[in-house]
Amino acid sequence: MSSINNIWGNTYSDNVSSLFQFGSTNSSNSSGNILGIDLTEYSSVTRGSYKKLAKAYYAKYGKKQVANESKPESKEDTVAKTNLKDQANALQRAANVLTVTGKNSVFRKIDIKDEKSGITSKQYDTDKIYKAVNDMVDSYNNLIKKSADSDSNAVLRQSLRMVNSSGKNAKLLSKVGIKINSDNTLSLNEETFKQADMNVVKSLFNGNGSFGSGIETVANNIYMNINNSLGNNATYTAGGTFGNYQTGSLLNDLF
């Protein structure tokens, strides 16, 4: 039993009496104590004096204190966050279609027969690749527009990261028909794209370390940040963020 008592720092009898220590613990105190109860304080409670004091205090300071408390999130804010999360998820999925390698890659060459010569050869499926890139550009633009209205520093930083990445790859993007507009959105010229070197397109969007992979990562980070702020996660995520708790959201916004 001694080991158990040491965990609490006192003997069993000391712990029991400490449960009643509302006032002075000195038994020789003039106010009188029984089992650690201050009789003077106890008397004020039974006579209603304590209640009157508490009521007067909260009448004076209660409203001021409530006014300083953070307001609960409005329905409009929740809807806006949900829409932003959906846009981030859409971009993540669209970018993933382009970054996937191996047999499921859109950049896997297929047998294409030349109509004039009748010769069959392994070539990129340009139409399929164009559709995938066009879907990503649309999702990219939607997320850029939605992120601009966000009040989350973490979301804005991730969006800026995405915009900066596009800027750094502006020359290569222009070679495949993708232009960066003044509002940071992208526009894709179908004719220029389909005439471009698909090897350049592949280097931009396919595999780890590509431009497409970076966009996918940013979209995932935004998705997780919003998802956490909505209270849908109470554990650390793969991205190193922590959700559900207000403290976690505040810390995420700092980095």
Per-residue 3-state assignment (H helix, E strand, C coil) for the chain = CHHHHHHHCCCHHHHHHHCCCCCCCCCCCCCCEECCEEHHHHHHHHHCHHHHHHHHHHHHHHHHHHHHCCCCCCHHHHHHHHHHHHHHHHHHHHHHHHHCCHHHCCCCCEEEECCCCCCEEEECCHHHHHHHHHHHHHHHHHHHHHHCCCCCHHHHHHHHHHHHHHHHCHHHHHHCCEEECCCCCEEECHHHHHHCCHHHHHHHHCCCCCHHHHHHHHHHHHHHHHHHHCCCCCCECCCCCECCCHHHHHHHHHC
174 and 53 in a common domain: no
162 and 38 in a common domain: no
248 and 182 in a common domain: yes
152 and 46 in a common domain: no
DSSP bridge partners of 37 = 34
Last residue of a domain, one of 46, 68, 90: 68
57 and 116 in a common domain: no
Instruction: Enumerate residue ranges in the chain where pLDDT < 70.
Output: 1-72, 233-255
Can you give the pLDDT at residue 112? 86
186 and 64 in a common domain: no
Can you give the pLDDT at residue 61? 53
40 and 86 in a common domain: no
pTM value is 0.64
- Taking alpha carbons only, the member of 102, 108, 103, 100 closest to residue 125 is 108
Length of the chain: 255
Can you give the pLDDT at residue 93? 97
180 and 121 in a common domain: yes
Last residue of a domain, one of 44, 68, 92: 68
150 and 91 in a common domain: yes
Can you give the pLDDT at residue 50? 53
57 and 79 in a common domain: no
Can you give the pLDDT at residue 238? 45
79 and 58 in a common domain: no
Q: Are 109 and 121 in contact (CB under 8 A)?
A: no
Can you give the pLDDT at residue 170? 97
119 and 226 in a common domain: yes
Domain containing 12 equals: 2-68
Say which residue the tokens 């995932």 belong to. 220
Can you give the pLDDT at residue 48? 61
Q: Are 90 and 222 in contact (CB under 8 A)?
A: no
Last residue of a domain, one of 14, 45, 68: 68
Ramachandran class of 250: left when φ > 0, alpha when ψ lies in -120 to 50, beta otherwise: alpha
User: What total number of domains does the chain contain?
Assistant: 2
